[in-house]
A and B are shown apart, each in its own frame.
Chain A
Amino acid sequence: MSSTSSTALSIESQWELPSRGHVGMLSLIAAEFAIFTIFVVAYLFYIGKSLTGPMPKDVLEMPIFASICLLSSSWTIHVAVKALRNGKVRGFGAWWFATIALGLIFLIETGREWHHLIFEKGLTISTNLFGTTYYSLVGLHAFHVVVGLIGLSIAMILTLLGKVKQEHGDRADVFSLYWHFVDVVWIIVFTVVYIIGR
């Protein structure tokens, strides 16, 4: 009996499983990828099938600046998480704030683009198939940016209140997975909408 107990103890002490947060976030990302895949397929399928104008090549301009901002925010959040893991809460706060600022700039740029398209070019979601697929795909991505910004801001407020400590590094890391996902999706959306679709 004692030998059984000691084996059980050795099993218990060596037992380690992946963290809930990371596996959960990766599962959510898998589901989100499936949703985006359907929207991307719809976009690709309807390229050039609009019966009336305006067409993408007439109205779309590459959002280079916005894209650079969003993609660099992946780097800033990575540095922020690293800082928190090393116990540098102030550094974390600064880089985290930079991430929010970059995300906000991206969102404002998207808003300006939409304003331009709607009020100057007369393209809405019901104008033609291009409008339908463009606003829904870019809009779905922008919605994910908004959700990300809300999450980032909550963490920012908690940081300013002094509630964020080194042991929260793993949680920040889980959230950063989501933010990286939003960036990766933007690379796909950018390629599909502004390169292939134009």
Chain B
Amino acid sequence: MASESIALTPVHDASRPIGTTLHDWVVTVDHKKLGILYIFYSLIFLVIGGIEATIMRIQLIVPHNHFVSPQAFNRMFTMHGTTMIFFVAMPILFGFGNYLIPLMIGARDMAFPRLNAWSFWLTAFGGLLLYFSFIGGNGLYGAGSAPDVGWFAYAPLTASTFSLGHSTDFWTLGLLVSGFGSIGTAINILVTIMCLRCPGMTLSKMPLLAWLNLVMAAMVLLAISPLTAAQIMLSLDRFLGAHFFDTQAGGSAVLWMHFFWIFGHPEVYVLVLPAFAFASEIIPVFSRKPIFGYPVMVAATVGIGFVGLSVWAHHMFTVGMNPYANSFFTITTMVIGVPTGIKIFNWIGTMWGGKIILKTPMLFCIAFLFQFLIAGLTGIMLSAAPFDWQLGNSYFVVAHFHYVIVGAILFTIFGAFYYWFPKMSGRMYNETLGKWHFWLFFIGFHLTFDFMHIPGLLGMPRRIYTYEPGRGWDIWNLICTVGVFFQAVAIIVFIGNLLWSYFNGKSAGNDPWDAWTLEWSTSSPPAEYNFAKVPVVRSRRPLWDIKHPEDPDWKYE
């Protein structure tokens, strides 16, 4: 039985002309190829967004620097934010979701393979549209090229009076197009998990990765759609002379803020839930223990999903709201710390008493635990409206959300890269280079973002292109910029490791980590149909049951 369910056919990749291979990749509807396309595409944009961040940090390294013009600086922070959220974080997580979910739930593909391909290409073209603004944004002479309205594009900056040319249109349409792609992928993930689980895999036996992605997909449906609606409104304003956000005609700039953040804050959870998913798969395997408190983890995830939809206006404390709104959003924001705290507790509970193996994926996950805790703590500080009035829109906020997005999300993404690279490529990565990547990035991250809190506390606002010397900000900005170079070198090591290992790595075999979820039961890389025979599972750790028939999990679950 056991050997039957993991029977496989080796993939023969005879050498074919490059044109045929490329054609295969373009027309593919295979979830694994689309997953890799998503990941590859995001890595390119990760480098681009990283270069934009580096340009900003170089500009801020000393006071009164003239590395770039103020106009270019505005474009850099707008493009950096937009790129990193919409064209790096979202697609990279969708890519892993695409690749892993069918494999982990024992399915042969996503529920709607063609919709899957369509969604990917929409996302891809959305990104190209955004970047085409560097060439095509100049609708009028001297009107600027790339968007420069900030990644949340507050009205009235986006009004056609103040944003001449087409830069804002490229931003709006790029996000609109990729937003449709995201909704398509979310529907696909949700339907795949609800309808394609292999026999025996009830909802309570799904890997946590599937659970977290299920909640993530539901949140995408409810959170990306408002952004789509708001982008349609903004386009109507700019192209047809509507007045949604036009204060001259009685419209409201604050309404845009609400619409944007109704998307914007759930988006943080859309990004962090798949990151939690990686941690929830990696930490048990490298602690040699099943996940601690599975039902509580699921409940906490669903709790985050619900509460996450009702915290958005904590981004607007400084705008001025009535005391009831301030109290409501302070309370909901603090409440969301409870389920996230439960999760941290359970990950530590999983490691507690385990036989911890400090391979690269685990290193990234352990760093994630501590960094996410600190990010959560500064989040609780900022959730208090009076504290936020002091520090809103300062570098303290910038440090806080980079602690979440880099310190938590990007760290687990790197962990996921090392953990599943053997499955995707069939080869092991280089452990030494992996450790170099980890330590360089870890040092760089802490140099940049730990010290970024301090100029924020000292009153340095975000989005300024330069500053006066002698305010006590100089040394902190210098340290932040130095950290960026460590991170850049780490990324080079990372990409070098991926390339080197892809061509020269040791053969990985089906199950290099002695793991327990279904993706490790099939070949590396898996055949197009994933499983020669659709598996039947009886517990949360089907491979444990196969490897230990004398003491299977289903006896205890």
Contact = CB atoms under 8 A, between A and B. Distances in A.
- B partners with A: yes
Given A20-B191, A51-B249, A35 B255 contact: no
Contacts of B112: 20, 24
Contact of B250 (A7, A18, A51): A51
Contacts, number: 123
Interface in A30-63: 30-39, 42, 45-46, 49-51
Secondary structure at chain B's binding surface: helix, strand, loop or mixed?
helix
Contacts of B44: none
A130 to B, nearest CB: 10
B236 A132 contact: yes
Given A34-B225, A50-B250, A129-B250, A27 B191 contact: yes
A42 B233 contact: yes
B241 interface: yes
A24 B196 CA distance: 12
A144 B371 CA distance: 46
Contact of B195 (A18, A38, A46): A18
Q: Which of B187, B222, B223 has the most CB of A within 10 A?
A: B187
A50 B198 CA distance: 56
A136 interface: yes
Contacts of B242: 125-126, 131-132, 135-136
B481 interface: no
A39 B229 contact: yes
B185 to A, nearest CB: 11
Contact of B226 (A19, A34, A128): A34
Q: Which of B195, B223, B228, B230 has the most CB of A within 10 A?
A: B195
- Size class of A's contact patch? 35 or more
A195 interface: no
A70 to B, nearest CB: 22
Interface stretch (A9-17, A88-96, A110-118, A154-162): A9-17
A38 B226 contact: yes
Interface residues of B, number: 43
Contacts of B79: none
Contacts of B549: 4
A1 to B, nearest CB: 6
A28 B187 contact: yes
B139 interface: no
A46 B505 CA distance: 62
B190 A31 contact: no
B529 interface: no
Nearest to B236: A136
Nearest to A8: B536
A56 to B, nearest CB: 15
A23 B194 contact: yes
B194 A129 contact: no
Contacts of A8: 1, 199-200, 536, 538
B240 A125 contact: yes
Contacts of B190: 23, 27
A125 B536 contact: no
Contacts of B223: 34
Contacts of A38: 225-226, 229-230, 233, 259, 262
Given A20-B111, A128-B249, A42 B244 contact: yes
Contacts of A125: 236, 240-242
Contacts of A133: 244
B252 A45 contact: yes
Given A24-B112, A34-B222, A132-B243, A17 B230 contact: no
A128 B183 contact: no
B197 interface: yes
B554 to A, nearest CB: 9
B226 A17 contact: no
Contact of A4 (B1, B111, B249): B1
Contact of B228 (A35, A126, A136): A35
Nearest to A52: B249
Contacts of A11: 199-200, 536, 538
Contacts of A128: 243, 249-250
B428 interface: no
Interface string B143-179: 0000000000000000000000000000000000000
A136 B245 CA distance: 14
B221 interface: yes
Contacts of B217: 27
Contacts of A18: 194-195
Given A24-B112, A50-B250, A15 B187 contact: no
B186 interface: yes
A23 B112 CA distance: 12
A23 B191 contact: yes
B341 to A, nearest CB: 29
Nearest to B262: A38
B251 interface: yes
A30 B221 contact: yes
B376 to A, nearest CB: 27
Given A11-B536, A32-B225, A35-B225, A19 B250 contact: no
B1 A34 contact: no
B251 A129 contact: yes
B200 A15 contact: yes
B111 A24 contact: yes
Contacts of B536: 8, 11-12
A136 B249 contact: no
Contact of A31 (B195, B225, B230): B225
A15 B228 contact: no
A46 B224 CA distance: 23
23 contacts: A4-B549, A5-B1, A8-B200, A12-B536, A27-B186, A27-B217, A31-B183, A31-B221, A31-B222, A32-B225, A33-B225, A34-B229, A35-B225, A35-B228, A38-B225, A38-B259, A39-B233, A45-B252, A128-B243, A132-B242, A132-B244, A132-B251, A140-B232
Given A17-B197, A35-B225, A39-B233, 20 more contacts: A4-B1, A7-B538, A8-B538, A19-B195, A20-B195, A31-B221, A34-B223, A37-B229, A38-B226, A38-B229, A39-B229, A42-B259, A126-B240, A126-B241, A128-B250, A129-B243, A132-B242, A136-B232, A136-B236, A136-B242
Interface of A: 1, 4-5, 7-8, 11-12, 15, 17-20, 23-24, 27-28, 30-39, 42, 45-46, 49-51, 125-126, 128-129, 131-133, 135-136, 140
Interface of B: 1, 111-112, 183, 186-187, 190-191, 194-197, 199-200, 217-218, 221-226, 228-230, 232-233, 236, 240-244, 249-252, 255, 259, 262, 536, 538, 549
List 7 tightest A-B contacts by C-beta distance, closest first: A126-B241, A34-B225, A38-B229, A15-B199, A132-B242, A8-B536, A31-B221
